[in-house]
Structure 1
């Protein structure tokens, strides 16, 4: 099994309540119900206000590398990524569990 973690940092001046951000969050929130490869799916705003903290996080799991690639290629995932690319940057970690 593979755990897939993504941490998002909003670009300078971008607020959580902006329409495009709200829409981007909604696009990610629904992925757990849309992408069959996802065995687990969590996403939420970070509650930490530490200076090094990122703003939003995704934590999910898939069965294997092939399932991870199908998730990454899924049209709904790609649509969400396209939205987030306009207002945030991110880092990822994928590891076997």
Structure 2
């Protein structure tokens, strides 16, 4: 199995209630139901207010590297990523477990 973690940081001046952000969150919330290769899917706002904290997180898992690639290329994932590019940056970690 491969764990896929993503931590998002909203761009300066962008708030959680921005309509673009709300739509982006909704798009990501649906991915667990839309992408068959996902074995585990959760996403949520970070509750930490520490200065080094990111704002939003995805924690997911796929079977193997081929499944990870199919997930990354899936149209629903690509559409969500396109939305988030407008208002956030992110870091990613993929590792076997």
Q: TM-score, normalised by structure 2?
A: 1.00
The alignment yields a C-alpha RMSD, in angstroms, of 0.2
Structure 1 residues 53-84: Cα deviation after superposition (integer angstroms, max 9, x where no partner): 00000000000000000000000000000000
Indicate yes or no: 2:26 matched with 1:26. Answer: yes
Q: Which runs of 5+ in 2 are unaligned?
A: none
Partner of 2:75: 75
User: Across the two proteins, how many residue pairs are aligned to each other?
Assistant: 97
- In structure 1, the partner of 2:6 is 6
- Report Cα offsets for 1:32-71 as digits up to 9, x if no partner: 0000000000000000000000000000000000000000
Classify the secondary structure of the residue corresponding to 2:14.
coil
Residue 30 of structure 1 aligns to a residue whose secondary structure is helix
| TM-score, normalised with respect to structure 1 | 1.00
The residue correspondences of 1:1-97 to structure 2 (distance < 5 A) are 1-97=1-97
CA distance in 2 between partners of 1:54 and 1:19 (Å): 19
Distance, in Å, in 1 between the alignment partners of 2:35 and 2:16 is 25
Q: CA deviation at 1:85?
A: 0.2
User: For 1:34 and 1:66, how far apart are their aligned partners in 2?
Assistant: 17
Runs of 4+ that moved beyond 3 A:
none
